[in-house]
Amino acid sequence: MSDATRAIEAVWRIESPRLIAGLVRMVRDVQLAEDLAAEALVAALEQWPRDGVPQNPGAWLMAAAKRRAIDTFRANERHAAKHVELGRDLDERQEFAEAELDAAIDDRFGDDLLRLIFMTCHPVLSVEARVALTLRLLGGLTTDEIARAYLASEPTIAQRIVRAKRTLVEARVPFETPRGDELEERLASVLRVIYLIFNEGYSPTAGEEWTRPELLEEALRLGRVLAQLAPGVSEVHGLVALMELQASRSRARVGPSGEPILLLDQDRSRWDQLLIRRGHRALEKAMSLTGALGPYTLQAAIAGCHARAGTADATDWNAIVALYDALLELSGSPVVGLNRAVAVGMAFGPAEGLRVVEELRDEPALSGYHLLHATRADFLIKLGRVGEARLELQRAIGMTRNAREVGVMRARLAGLSSV
């Protein structure tokens, strides 16, 4: 691969979301915008190795895509008059400069990229479609990369993306930043999609890998972009803080042979201090913008407690329990209740932790959830009830789809045979 080709790939990963966003504003069609962007990429692959990478590659790509948009509209005979008029209008516009690509336009946050984020995360799409389309258009991942990350076939992901684009057109989803109550509702969807991508990278639901770094990186990048575009929204900074702080543990989560290492057993000197500092700054920003902390900010505060402790024993578990109390009151989530049980066990002993778990055993949302049984097994082991713990670990193994996680529990089960 030539230096020019490598440079093009790097530029494309950075510039393609803004390029597609600007084109969607112009042509009002996600598929057409992506096609025009792809044609601009082809032109770059043809010209840049010969002429060199331009000083402003983003503006070059936009100018190339705009010329192709004009040609496309003029060539369409079915709507000739309309397209010639649009082509004339585009001709009259001055060449896009990088500053213009970044400039605010006329809405609350003022950025084409923000509009595109809201468009790809529109509720008219299924959650799976939102994730795939967001990774495709905003993450810059290929269809094959998304398929491998989510253990799906490439045709399945391709079909999901095509259907999502078609649905946006058929539903006439506007290319705009929503306002008022709709903004809050849609922003929650955007944050959820980004966090789903992060979680699948941090702890994959299935497959052979303990982590998927490419998804971690894309979620972090999307979160940081959103924080720049929506600087006054506390929960955006809360999510960024949460992801930064959790991602800081990545190196310590895997042993020399690729084996998983759980939180309490990690060498905290391997935690990334730069990410921890960034996480704390984002958390401070989130907390400064609101009186009542939202769910992402509360989770970030919990992660911050772990990050401030030099060892597992030094962790302020009482503070973590209090934060989980607030999070549980806000969300009512049984999964949050289970996480709270772990903190209760660390703060007040395994018997108290087990008592909290027992209260959750009949929760429908936890039916088939392997961590309910794994957590109960942990408390039973600490209480010396080894026979019951074996049964719980066996149940958890039968419910787990991630091979690395299965390996951790099998090792723990094998360790009980000598007890």
Backbone angles phi, psi at 104, to 5 degrees: -70, 150
From residue 364, alpha-carbon distances to 176, 333, 377 in Å are 39, 11, 19
Rounded CA separation 98/100 (Å): 5
Q: What is the pLDDT of residue 92?
A: 46
Q: Give 353 or 72, the one with higher predicted confidence.
A: 353
Place of tokens 């803080």: 241
**Backbone φ/ψ region at 57: left (φ over 0), alpha (ψ -120 to 50), beta:** alpha
Q: Give 156 or 104, the one with higher predicted confidence.
A: 156
On whether residue 81 sits in a domain, the answer given is: yes
pLDDT at residue 353 tops 90: yes
Q: What is the pLDDT of residue 105?
A: 31
Strand partners, 288: none
Strand partners, 206: 401
Residue-wise pLDDT tens digits, 12-29: 877 888 889 889 988 888
On whether residue 154 sits in a domain, the answer given is: no
On whether residue 330 sits in a domain, the answer given is: no
Rounded CA separation 351/344 (Å): 10
On whether residue 53 sits in a domain, the answer given is: yes
pLDDT at residue 7 tops 70: yes
- Give the pLDDT band (50/70/90) at residue 226: very high
On whether residue 67 sits in a domain, the answer given is: yes
Contact 389, 377 (CB under 8 A): yes
- For residue 12, give the nearest of 46, 54, 61 by alpha carbon: 61
Backbone angles phi, psi at 249, to 5 degrees: -90, 0
Residue-wise pLDDT tens digits, 55-102: 888 889 989 998 888 887 777 655 555 555 555 555 544 343 333 333
Q: Give 112 or 319, the one with higher predicted confidence.
A: 319
Place of tokens 């994730």: 131
Q: What is the pLDDT of residue 182?
A: 82
Mean pLDDT, rounded, for 375-402: 95
- For residue 123, give the nearest of 190, 222, 211, 64 by alpha carbon: 190
Backbone angles phi, psi at 289, to 5 degrees: -100, -5
Here the tokens at position 175 are 């290319």
pLDDT at residue 282 tops 90: yes
Q: Total structural domains in the chain? A: 1
% of the chain with per-residue pLDDT over 70: 90
CB neighbour list of residue 65: distance below 8 Å, 6 or more residues apart: 19, 23, 36, 37, 39, 40
On whether residue 312 sits in a domain, the answer given is: no
Mean pLDDT of the chain: 87
pLDDT at residue 125 tops 90: yes
CB neighbour list of residue 198: distance below 8 Å, 6 or more residues apart: 215, 216, 219, 220, 223, 243, 246, 247
Contact 83, 73 (CB under 8 A): yes
Q: What is the pLDDT of residue 76?
A: 67
Q: What is the pLDDT of residue 98?
A: 36
Out of 239-243, 289-293, 351-355, 371-375, pick the least confident: 289-293
Helices marked H in 28-153 — which ranges? Answer: 30-51, 57-75, 80-92, 98-102, 112-120, 127-137, 143-149
Backbone angles phi, psi at 401, to 5 degrees: -105, -10
% of the chain with per-residue pLDDT over 90: 55
Q: What is the pLDDT of residue 113?
A: 85
Q: What is the pLDDT of residue 79?
A: 54
- Give the pLDDT band (50/70/90) at residue 104: very low
* DSSP letter for each residue of 8-44: HHHHHHHHHHHHHHHHHHHHS-HHHHHHHHHHHHHHH
Residue-wise pLDDT tens digits, 156-199: 999 999 999 999 999 999 888 888 888 888 898 999 999 999 99
Determine the structural domain holding residue 30 and report its residue range: 3-100
- Give the pLDDT band (50/70/90) at residue 230: confident
On whether residue 263 sits in a domain, the answer given is: no
Contact 373, 399 (CB under 8 A): yes
On whether residue 21 sits in a domain, the answer given is: yes
Strand partners, 207: 402
Residue-wise pLDDT tens digits, 23-47: 998 888 899 999 999 899 899 888 8
Here the tokens at position 209 are 């890998």
